[in-house]
């Protein structure tokens, strides 16, 4: 049996009114035009009523904040390999946590653009390059995969794992 916390559960409808709700037994679940999940905000898509949009600006902002924090480690002159491991854990871990479920959204500019900016900041932090370093050079120096490829790969692996474990919805 699954227990549902009605205070933390919302339903997204593209057309909704604040008074709309779903009642189940003695529980009332309210509708919303947006819901936060894994640090991102899912928003009802008014143009395509059967989908929702993912606003990634909050996630990107958090990643950039992590980049700025970890850059401060450079002043302690720790070995480069340890610094890069810290980058992968503290910054890359956030990408690894978030990217698998964004696969189909990577074609939407409003979704991918903030993530690209954050990914570029991650590469600059990892390599120690200046902000004026061209993106192509960052990719070459860091040897990071292209962001869209990373998203597609992470999404595909997640689906394959879910299928193998029998947890695919």
Q: What three-state secondary structure class fits 145?
A: coil
pLDDT digits (tens, 9 = 90+) for 78-97: 999 999 999 999 999 999 88
Whole-number Å distance between alpha carbons of 55 and 36: 9
Long-range contacts of 72-80 (CB under 8 A, 24+ apart): 74/128
DSSP bridge partners of 36:
41
> pTM (2 decimals)?
0.79
Residue ranges per domain, the chain?
A: 10-52, 56-165
**Residue 123: burial class (beta carbons within 10 Å; 0-12, 13-18, 19+):** buried
Instruction: Give the orientation angle of helix 109-127 with respect to helix 147-165, to 10 degrees.
Output: 100
- Please determine, for residue 47, whether its predicted confidence score (pLDDT) is greater than 90: no
In contact, 59 and 99? CB cutoff 8 Å: no
- Please determine, for residue 36, whether its predicted confidence score (pLDDT) is greater than 70: yes
- Please determine, for residue 101, whether its predicted confidence score (pLDDT) is greater than 70: yes
Whole-number Å distance between alpha carbons of 169 and 159: 10
Q: Name which of 19-28, 111-120, 134-143 the model is least confident about.
A: 19-28
φ and ψ at residue 10, rounded to 5 degrees? -135, 160
Whole-number Å distance between alpha carbons of 120 and 97: 18
């Amino acid at each position: 049996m699954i227990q549902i916390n009605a205070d933390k559960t919302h339903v997204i409808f593209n057309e909704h009114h604040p008074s709309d709700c779903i009642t189940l037994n003695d529980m009332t679940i309210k509708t919303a035009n947006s819901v936060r999940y894994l640090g991102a905000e899912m928003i009802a898509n008014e143009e395509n009523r059967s989908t929702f949009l993912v606003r990634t600006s909050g996630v990107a902002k958090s990643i950039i904040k992590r980049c700025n924090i970890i850059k401060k480690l450079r002043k302690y002159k720790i070995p480069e390999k340890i610094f890069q491991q810290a980058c992968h854990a503290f910054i890359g871990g956030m990408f690894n946590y978030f990217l698998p479920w964004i696969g189909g959204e990577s074609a939407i500019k409003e979704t991918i653009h903030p993530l690209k900016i954050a990914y570029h900041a991650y590469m600059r932090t990892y390599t120690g390059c200046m902000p004026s370093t061209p993106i192509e050079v960052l990719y070459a120096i860091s040897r990071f995969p292209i962001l869209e490829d990373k998203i597609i790969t992470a999404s595909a692996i997640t689906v394959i794992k879910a299928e193998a474990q029998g947890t695919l919805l």
